[in-house]
Structure 1
Amino acid sequence: MATNSESNSPSSKARIYAPLGPNQARFIEILPSDDDDQSVSCLLRTAELTPDLHYAALSYVWGDPKVTRDILVNGHILPVTTNLACALWYFRKGGFPRHDNTEKIRLLWVDAICINQEDTPERSHQVTLMGTIFGNASSVFSWLEDPGLRHLDAVFPVIREFLSMVGSISQPRNRDADERHTGMGRAILDWLVSEPERLKPLAKLSRCTYWTRIWIVQEMALAKSPVEHWFICGHDSITFREIALFDAAILNIFGLFLCSEINISTVMRRMLWRVVHMMVQDVIEKILFAVEDEMGIMRIDGKDKFVNSYIERASSVPPMLSQLNLETIINKHNLSDSVFLFGKIAVVGLHTSATDPRDMVYAVLSIVSSDIIPDYTKSVRDVYLDALLRDAMEDTVGAYLQFSGLGHNMENEHDLPSWLPDLTKSTSWHDPSFKIGQLSRPKLLEGVRLREPEMVNRGILLIQGAACGSIKHIKRIPRLCREFGKMIYQLCIDYLVDWVIPGETTTGIRQIMFKRPLQALLTALCWDGLNDDVSHFEDSRGIHLPRLSWTFLNILLFGGNVLSEDERRDARRRLKLPWGVRLEGFMANCFVDVRRVVYRSCDNWEQFNFLVRRVEGNAVLFQTYDGRLGSGPSGTKLGDIVCAVDGTPSPILLRKDKLQENGSSHLVHVGVCFVVGLLDEKPAEMVKRGELEIETFEIH
Structure 2
Amino acid sequence: MIQRLENNPYSQLPPGHIRLLRISRNASDKNVGYLEVVPLEEAPPFYALSHTWGTHTCKQDVQIHGHILNITAELACGIRNFQQLAINGSALDPPLLYMWIDNLCVDQNNIPERSTQVGLMRKIYSRSVRTLIWLGVDHGSHSTGWDLVDQIYAEFRSLHPTVSNPGQIPVKAYSDASHAVSKLPAWDNEAWGQMKSLLDLPWFTRIWIVQEVVLSSRDPIIVNAQRLFPWHRLEWAAGWLRRNGYLRLSRLSKNFLNVNTISNIRRSQSLWPLDALLSCTQIKFNATNQRDKVYAVLGIAAECENSAEVPEALRPDYSLETEEIYQRVARFFLERNGSLAILTRARGTAGSLSRKQRLHDLEKLPSWAPDWSDYRASNNGIRTSFSWIHYTKTEEPVKFGFPKQYSAAIDKRLKLLDNQGGSTLTVGGALVGEIVQRVSFSNNEETKEEFGSSLDSKIESTWNLAFSALKPTDEGGLERLAACLLKVTTADQHELTGRTWEQSFKDGLTYILSLFDRANTNATARLAGSDNPQAVAHLRRLASGGNAEEYRVLAGTFCFNRCFIVTSAGHIGIGTSDAQVGDYASIIFGSGVLYVIRRTGQEFTFVGELYLDGYMEGQGLHVQEQILRLT
Task: Give TM-score scaled by structure 1 length.
Answer: 0.70
Q: What amino acid does structure 2 have at the position aligned with 1:289?
A: T
Unaligned runs of 5+ in 2: 1-5, 163-177, 305-309, 390-400
Q: What amino acid does structure 1 have at the position aligned with 2:605?
A: V
Range moving further from structure 2, 643-652 or 522-531: 522-531
CA displacement at 1:358 relative to structure 2 = 0.9
Which residue of structure 2 aligns with residue 78 of structure 1?
A: 69
Q: 2:596, 2:87 → 1: CA distance?
A: 55
Q: 1:342, 1:199 → 2: CA distance?
A: 36
8 Å CA contact 1:205, 1:283 repeated in 2: no
Which residue of structure 1 aligns with residue 321 of structure 2?
A: 379
The alignment status of 1:477 with 2:422, answered yes or no, reads no
Q: 2:537, 2:500 → 1: CA distance?
A: 11
8 Å CA contact 2:434, 2:583 repeated in 1: yes
> Cα–Cα, structure 1 residues 138 and 385, in superposed 2: closer, same or farther, change >3 Å?
same
Which residue of structure 1 aligns with residue 538 of structure 2?
A: 593
Relative to total residues, which structure has the larger helix share, 1 or 2?
A: 1
> Cα–Cα, structure 1 residues 358 and 162, in superposed 2: closer, same or farther, change >3 Å?
closer
The alignment status of 1:455 with 2:419, answered yes or no, reads yes
The alignment status of 1:88 with 2:21, answered yes or no, reads no
CA displacement at 1:277 relative to structure 2 = 11
CA displacement at 1:376 relative to structure 2 = 1.0
Which residue of structure 1 aligns with residue 382 of structure 2?
A: 430
Percent of aligned positions that are identical: 18
Aligned pair partner of 1:654 in 589, 592, 597: 597
Which residue of structure 2 aligns with residue 221 of structure 1?
A: 214
CA displacement at 1:510 relative to structure 2 = 6.9
Output one character per residue of 1:35-68: Cα deviation in whole Å (capped at 9) or x when no partner: 9xx9984332222223451211110111222332
Which residue of structure 2 aligns with residue 393 of structure 1?
A: 335
CA displacement at 1:682 relative to structure 2 = 2.7
Residue 599 of structure 2: SS of its match in structure 1?
strand
> Cα–Cα, structure 1 residues 632 and 367, in superposed 2: closer, same or farther, change >3 Å?
same
Output one character per residue of 1:146-169: Cα deviation in whole Å (capped at 9) or x when no partner: 2217x2232444555777799899
> Cα–Cα, structure 1 residues 160 and 625, in superposed 2: closer, same or farther, change >3 Å?
closer
Q: What amino acid does structure 2 have at the position aligned with 1:213?
A: R
Which residue of structure 2 aligns with residue 323 of structure 1?
A: none
CA displacement at 1:366 relative to structure 2 = 1.6
Residue 638 of structure 1: SS of its match in structure 2?
coil
Which residue of structure 1 aligns with residue 167 of structure 2?
A: none
Which residue of structure 2 aligns with residue 553 of structure 1?
A: 513
The alignment status of 1:359 with 2:292, answered yes or no, reads yes
Which residue of structure 2 aligns with residue 324 of structure 1?
A: none
8 Å CA contact 1:165, 1:188 repeated in 2: no
8 Å CA contact 1:667, 1:697 repeated in 2: yes
Output one character per residue of 1:578-615: Cα deviation in whole Å (capped at 9) or x when no partner: xxx9979899998873452454486x7x5586257335
Q: 1:166, 1:694 → 2: CA distance?
A: 56
Which residue of structure 1 aligns with residue 185 of structure 2?
A: 193
CA displacement at 1:651 relative to structure 2 = 0.5
Aligned pair partner of 2:105 in 105, 114, 117: 114
> Cα–Cα, structure 1 residues 458 and 14, in superposed 2: closer, same or farther, change >3 Å?
farther
Which residue of structure 2 aligns with residue 464 of structure 1?
A: 428
Which residue of structure 1 aligns with residue 457 of structure 2?
A: 489
Aligned pair partner of 2:571 in 621, 628, 637: 628
Q: What amino acid does structure 2 have at the position aligned with 1:140?
A: T
1:113-512 matches, cutoff 5 A? 113-148=104-139, 151-158=141-148, 190-193=182-185, 196-197=189-190, 199-226=192-219, 229-244=220-235, 275=246, 285-290=257-262, 297-298=264-265, 305-306=266-267, 335-338=269-272, 340-368=273-301, 369-370=303-304, 371=310, 372-391=314-333, 393=335, 395-407=337-349, 408-409=352-353, 410=355, 412-425=361-374, 430-436=382-388, 439-441=402-404, 442-448=406-412, 451-452=415-416, 454-478=418-442, 488-489=456-457, 492-493=460-461, 496=464, 500-501=467-468
CA displacement at 1:219 relative to structure 2 = 1.0
Aligned pair partner of 1:50 in 19, 41, 44: 41
CA displacement at 1:276 relative to structure 2 = 8.8
> Cα–Cα, structure 1 residues 248 and 98, in superposed 2: closer, same or farther, change >3 Å?
farther
> Cα–Cα, structure 1 residues 336 and 522, in superposed 2: closer, same or farther, change >3 Å?
same
Which residue of structure 1 aligns with residue 170 of structure 2?
A: none
> Cα–Cα, structure 1 residues 589 and 552, in superposed 2: closer, same or farther, change >3 Å?
farther
CA displacement at 1:576 relative to structure 2 = 12
8 Å CA contact 1:474, 1:623 repeated in 2: yes
> Cα–Cα, structure 1 residues 108 and 448, in superposed 2: closer, same or farther, change >3 Å?
closer
> Cα–Cα, structure 1 residues 552 and 234, in superposed 2: closer, same or farther, change >3 Å?
farther
Q: What amino acid does structure 1 have at the position aligned with 2:515?
A: I
8 Å CA contact 2:429, 2:627 repeated in 1: yes
Q: What amino acid does structure 1 have at the position aligned with 2:53?
A: W
> Cα–Cα, structure 1 residues 591 and 343, in superposed 2: closer, same or farther, change >3 Å?
farther
Residue 642 of structure 1: SS of its match in structure 2?
strand
Q: 1:453, 1:108 → 2: CA distance?
A: 50
Residue 430 of structure 2: SS of its match in structure 1?
strand
8 Å CA contact 1:353, 1:360 repeated in 2: yes
8 Å CA contact 2:148, 2:195 repeated in 1: no
8 Å CA contact 1:513, 1:586 repeated in 2: no
8 Å CA contact 1:478, 1:487 repeated in 2: no
8 Å CA contact 2:328, 2:421 repeated in 1: no
1:60-79 matches, cutoff 5 A? 60-79=51-70
8 Å CA contact 1:548, 1:611 repeated in 2: no
Q: 1:138, 1:81 → 2: CA distance?
A: 25
The alignment status of 1:696 with 2:627, answered yes or no, reads yes
Q: What amino acid does structure 1 have at the position aligned with 2:60?
A: R
8 Å CA contact 1:640, 1:654 repeated in 2: yes
Which residue of structure 2 aligns with residue 668 of structure 1?
A: 605
Residue 221 of structure 2: SS of its match in structure 1?
strand
Q: What amino acid does structure 2 have at the position aligned with 1:143?
A: W
Output one character per residue of 1:209-242: Cα deviation in whole Å (capped at 9) or x when no partner: 212111111111111112xx20122221212344
8 Å CA contact 1:445, 1:647 repeated in 2: yes
Residue 341 of structure 2: SS of its match in structure 1?
helix
CA displacement at 1:375 relative to structure 2 = 1.5
8 Å CA contact 1:343, 1:396 repeated in 2: no
Range moving further from structure 2, 432-441 or 135-144: 432-441
RMSD between aligned alpha carbons? Answer: 4.4
Q: 1:395, 1:246 → 2: CA distance?
A: 36
CA displacement at 1:347 relative to structure 2 = 2.7
Residue 629 of structure 2: SS of its match in structure 1?
strand
Range moving further from structure 2, 84-93 or 441-450: 441-450
> Cα–Cα, structure 1 residues 115 and 459, in superposed 2: closer, same or farther, change >3 Å?
same
> Cα–Cα, structure 1 residues 100 and 379, in superposed 2: closer, same or farther, change >3 Å?
closer
